[in-house]
Structure 1
Amino acid sequence: MAAGGAVTKEPGTDRFARRFQDDGFTVLAFDFRRLGESGGQPRQIIRMREQLADFDAAIAYASTLPEVSPDRIAIWGFSLSGGHVLRVAARHPRLGAAIAQTPLVDGVRGAARAGRHQRPLAMLRVLGLGILDAIGGLAGRPPLLIPLAGEPGTVAMLTTPDSRDGNRALNPDNSYPQWRQLIAARSGIRIGLYRPGRYAPGVTSPLLVLVADQDQTAPAGIAIEAARSAPNAEVAHVMGGHYAPFLDAHEQALDSELRFLRTHLLAPDRTRSKLHTPTPESEPIR
């Protein structure tokens, strides 16, 4: 499990991870490099190639755990990492399942829609900072950091109405004070050009795309289009904005995701066809 852009694993996965674990699944949540408890300098920078490699490494590590069957590994991500799920699943056809929750599948189209909630001058300032930061990065300068979310007219990565629910959804009562809600301005350019939905046709594993119908940050319609291009995908809907699965629609989202995982990871016919038969001394497969 991996969290969205510049969100660390605890605020980004804890609420879902605990319930998955309570349901009998082994859970591995990780921070991408340059974020949270992972290494890497400079901090708060997102590079797609690095994050995809980190997802690959997490899958490889999970497959070595004694309580895990390599043929029954699922991946989960939301927002930016939900987009990563499509690319990662496309190159790991043996995955048992994949869940992309309110995924960013087309940064170009998503940025155009999100831009409707930002003022032109502020948008130019954010773009200018991104370019300056990218040039500074080539010279080895520290990143220029901007807030993940803010009001229209302020310098922030996102100013959509539902993006401002992020702290309330992921960090209630400041439960995760060490989470730096900042991102390198240069990373915003990369995210705005990222188009992982193009890889959806190559995802042959069972895929669940969970969309929030009023999502203004990662529009549901774009994610649904990507899901329709995948050969073995289904779409689940919840009402609300980008963070609805962490807020009022949490139980509904969990029900959909747990049903999907049980169906595709625990089905008896899958056990017979793809997994070894445990011997009496074997550890139980979860």
Structure 2
Amino acid sequence: MAHREDIQIASHGEILDAWMYPTVDAERSAQSPAIILAQGLGGTKDMRLFEYCERFSAAGFLCVVFDYRYWGKSTGQPRGLVDVEAQLADWNTVIDYVAKLPQVNSEKIGIFGSSFCGGHVIRLAATNPKVKATVSQCPFTDGFASTCAIGFAPLPKLAWLALRDVFWSSQQNPVRVPLLGDPGEAALMSTEECKPGYQRLLPPGMTKLEIDAVPARLILHMPFLYPGAYAKSVPTPIYFAICGRDTVTPPEASLKFVKLAPRGTVEIYKDSNHFDIYVGQLFERAIADYIAFFKTNLAAC
């Protein structure tokens, strides 16, 4: 296991819990390129992201992986709140933090995001000039398409939960919606791959998500989120890992956006569903591709 340090980063009145992985050859390098990572919807940094950090660190990149406010060991109430603008603010805070580290070359900062966060990093790559290269894995690009993937039968119940959360809940006791469900159930992710897929991301010794239901207000925003629309405005190299059998973030919806990125590389992992790419042979293939991309577009530039 690669060496890592526990760090805390102040962000807009909250404290973000993070890990920093120095490069394996840190003693021989005055300044390193850096990669910043965060998880997707309902995920935390201990859900497989340590594996990405260890590989990137061994390849010569300093890594910082963090949990958003309201998640993991980061502070903030209510727990499990998914607030897109707050998450993007946390991202920008961490980018600023990493850029100021003396051991980091501030002109060589890359970012990595998967699933819901795969959409975040597209938007960040388009709007934050400190970002020089990006990997967006199985990205959430089209909120309407992902909402349709839930199915229409649960939508009335989901909408009712969201309205109750907005109008009749408190910060201490929000109305919550399950993250995961079986097909047809009222949950944020309910296709057949979701429950077993998430189970494979859990760290050793954990059998269920620490937070398995989130404030339901997110449902009112989800259909109107289109982070993929930022792809055409990304001025720097960006690698899109599209999963060909993805039922959570439909590949057809993503492709119409990501193909517009001026310096985009689009790779379709045709045998992967939304979660396969995190583990096993598909992970090995993908991480090798990501390292090659970052070495070409970040370390060597």
Determine if the TM-score, normalized by the shorter chain, exceeds 0.5. yes
Contact 2:163 2:217 in 1 (8 A): yes
Residue 258 (structure 1) aligned to one of 262, 266, 291:
291
Task: Report the equivalent of 1:241.
Answer: 273
What's the offset of the Cα at 1:177? 6.1
Aligned letter for 1:132? Answer: R
TM superposition shift of 1:47: 1.0
TM-score (norm 1): 0.86
CA contact (8 A) 2:81 2:215 kept: yes
1-structure distance, mates of 2:190, 2:276: 17
TM-score normalised according to structure 2 size = 0.82
Offset, 1:203: 0.6
For 1:72-151, what aligned pairs fall within 5 Å after superposition? 72-112=108-148, 114-116=149-151, 120=153, 122-137=154-169, 140=171, 142-151=173-182
1:200 corresponds, among 213, 222, 231, to 231
CA distance in 2, matches of 1:16, 1:185: 30
Larger helix percent: 1
Larger RCO, structure (CA 8 Å, separation 6 or more): 1
Say which SS state the counterpart of residue 198 (structure 2) adopts. helix
> Contact 1:208–1:233 at 8 Å: present in 2 too?
yes
Select 1:63's aligned residue among 72, 75, 99: 99
Counterpart CA distance in 2 for 1:124 and 1:232 is 41
Matched residue, 1:21: 57
- Partner SS for 2:259: helix
Gaps spanning 5+ residues in structure 1: where?
A: 271-286
2:202 is the counterpart of 1:171: yes
Task: Output the CA distance in 1 between the equivalents of 2:214 and 2:78.
Answer: 11
SS at match of 2:135: strand
- Overall identity of the aligned pairs, in %: 29
CA deviation map 1:188-234 (0-9, x unaligned): 33233211111111111110010110000001122222211111000
* Matched residue SS, 1:75: strand
Determine if contact 1:6/1:181 at 8 Å carries over to the other structure.
yes
Uncovered stretches (5+) of structure 2, i.e. residues with no partner: 1-36
* More deviation, 228-237/147-156: 147-156
Q: CA RMSD in A?
A: 1.9
Deviates more, 1:220-229 or 1:202-211: 220-229
Q: Which residue does the alignment assign to 1:283?
A: none
